[in-house]
């Protein structure tokens, strides 16, 4: 039966690529008992790191979500020249490796960079402070919401929206009452992806953070620090907590979205 075949294929793939590493990470976190994991998680620097990660996520995700929805609407519902270029452009940030993101941000906001002297002259700290962490995080998670919403917008077509407009609904009413409910799943998945990425981003954030202990060390930087200190259970424990946070966000979003009969 094709259904069983597909299911086995998908599950085997997920088991090999995803579940295996996850299970191993859980095992490694707890293989020496709960106390090494707990010690790493309850250290003040770790708690601060989690707080910082959550703050960065709380700023980056809404910004990216709003941008993503507006962008998707513009790309699908509007006509303008260069649409294909804009589309490809949105995906491009993903193709930059962390060292390149860091390099680019240094070239802009670092000492001797394009805005470096202006920023230091006005006492504004971008690099090695929260703004750089947020910028780097937004950069690496930019396309997710837009990419989730675009195919769905195309799929559902705009008949309902046009109907609403002819009935006298304003642009905002049309969006809130007609468009948004039909793209809710896409927005949910986009937000979940963006959140997960913000929680787990290491490379780009590491370069621009300055790694100031107790100040700009995010949770992923803490994982690296535990790894360097030969504290593998601690490193894995922090990672598992990040994974659990991502799952929590998924559950929360699944509950928040307006319920609908069936799927």
Partner 1 sequence: MGERAGTAVSLGAVTTFLGLVVALPLAALGWRSASDGPHGFWTAVSSPGAVAALELTLGASLVVALINAVLGTVTAWVLVRDDFRGRALVDAIVDLPFALPTIVAGLTLLALYGPRSPIGVDVAYTRAAIVLALLFVTLPFVVRTVQPVLQELDPELEQVAWSLGASQAVTFRRVILPNILPGILSGVALAFAKAVGEFGSLVVITGNIPLRTEVASVYIFGRVESGSTTSAAAVAVVLLALSFVLLLSIGAVRRYASRHDRA
Partner 2 sequence: MRVRTLALLVGLVSALLAAVASRAPAQTADVGLSLVAYSTPREAYAKLIPMFQKTPAGQGVSFTQSYGASGDQARAVAAGLKADVVALSLAPDMDTLVDAGIVDPRWKRQSSKGIVTDSVVVFVVRDGNPKRIKRWDDLLRPGVSVITPNPFTSGGARWNVMAAYGAWLKLGKTRAQAQENLLRLFRNVSVQDKSARDALNTFLSGKGDVLLTYENEAIAAQLANQPVQYVIPRQTILIENPIAVTKTSEHRDAANAFLRFLRTPAAQQVFADYGYRPVVASVLEANRRKFPARPGLFTIDQLGLGGWRKVQRDFFDPDKGVMATIERKVGGVSAG
Yes or no: say if 60 and 194 are a contact pair by the CB < 8 Å rule: yes
**Per CB under 8 A, does 258 bind partner 2?**
yes
Binding residues for partner 1 restricted to 157-176, rule: CB under 8 A:
170-171
**Per CB under 8 A, does 203 bind partner 2?**
no
Q: How far is the CB of 56 from partner 1 (least distance, A)?
A: 14
Residue 251 CB contacts under 8 Å (≥ 6 apart), including other chains: none
CA proximity to 137, closest of 35, 89, 85, 205: 205
d(CA 175, CA 156): 14
Q: Which does 122 bind (CB under 5 to 8 A by kind): partner 1, partner 2, none?
A: none
Q: How far is the CB of 135 from partner 2 (least distance, A)?
A: 14
**Per CB under 8 A, does 169 bind partner 2?**
no
How many CB atoms sit inside 10 A of residue 112's CB?
Answer: 8
Contact with partner 2 (CB under 8 A) among 120, 156, 202, 203: 120
Contact with partner 2 (CB under 8 A) among 39, 211, 243, 250: 211
Yes or no: say if 186 and 152 are a contact pair by the CB < 8 Å rule: yes
**Per CB under 8 A, does 54 bind partner 2?**
yes
Identify which of residues 39 and 211 has a Cβ nearer to partner 2 in the complex: 211
Contact with partner 2 (CB under 8 A) among 67, 156, 215, 243: 215
Stretch that binds partner 2, among 35-43, 105-113, 152-160, 163-171 (CB under 8 A): 105-113
d(CA 177, CA 181): 7
Identify which of residues 2 and 123 has a Cβ nearer to partner 2 in the complex: 123
Residue 67 CB contacts under 8 Å (≥ 6 apart), including other chains: 142, 145, 146
**Per CB under 8 A, does 24 bind partner 2?**
no
| Lookup result for tokens 């929805």 | 69
d(CA 66, CA 73): 11
Cα angle value 166/168/169 (rounded, 5°)? 105
CA proximity to 41, closest of 243, 236, 247, 246: 236
Q: Which does 256 bind (CB under 5 to 8 A by kind): partner 1, partner 2, none?
A: partner 2
Q: Total binding residues for partner 1 by CB under 8 A?
A: 96
Stretch that binds partner 1, among 41-49, 102-110, 122-130, 209-217 (CB under 8 A): 102-110
Q: Which does 169 bind (CB under 5 to 8 A by kind): partner 1, partner 2, none?
A: none
Identify which of residues 86 and 129 has a Cβ nearer to partner 2 in the complex: 129
**Per CB under 8 A, does 113 bind partner 2?**
yes
Tokens linked to 261: 């009969």
Stretch that binds partner 1, among 31-39, 42-50, 98-106, 119-127 (CB under 8 A): 98-106
Residue 32 CB contacts under 8 Å (≥ 6 apart), including other chains: 233
Contact with partner 2 (CB under 8 A) among 36, 41, 49, 110: 110
Yes or no: say if 72 and 149 are a contact pair by the CB < 8 Å rule: yes
CA proximity to 200, closest of 178, 224, 164: 224
């Amino acid at each position: 039966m094709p259904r069983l075949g597909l299911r086995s294929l998908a599950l085997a793939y997920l088991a090999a690529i995803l579940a295996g590493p996850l299970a191993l990470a859980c095992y490694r976190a707890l293989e020496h008992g709960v106390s090494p994991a707990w010690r790493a998680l309850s250290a003040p620097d770790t708690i601060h790191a989690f707080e910082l990660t959550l703050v960065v996520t709380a700023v980056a995700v809404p910004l990216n979500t709003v941008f993503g929805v507006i962008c998707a609407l513009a790309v699908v519902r509007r006509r303008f020249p260069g649409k294909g270029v804009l589309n490809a452009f949105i995906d491009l940030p993903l193709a930059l490796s962390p060292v390149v993101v860091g390099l680019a941000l240094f070239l802009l906001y670092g000492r001797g960079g394009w805005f470096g002297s202006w920023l230091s002259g006005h006492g504004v700290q971008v690099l090695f402070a929260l703004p750089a962490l947020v910028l780097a995080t937004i950069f690496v998670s930019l396309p997710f919401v837009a990419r989730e919403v675009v195919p769905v917008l195309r799929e559902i077509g705009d008949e309902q929206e046009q109907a609403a407009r002819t009935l006298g609904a304003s642009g905002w009413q049309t969006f809130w009452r007609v468009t948004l409910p039909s793209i809710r799943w896409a927005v949910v998945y986009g937000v979940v992806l963006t959140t997960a990425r913000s929680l787990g981003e290491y490379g780009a954030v590491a370069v621009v953070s300055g790694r100031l202990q107790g100040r700009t060390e995010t949770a992923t930087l803490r994982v690296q620090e535990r790894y360097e200190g030969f504290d593998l259970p601690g490193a894995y424990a922090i990672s598992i907590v990040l994974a659990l946070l991502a799952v929590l966000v998924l559950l929360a979003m699944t509950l928040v979205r307006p319920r609908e009969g069936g799927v």
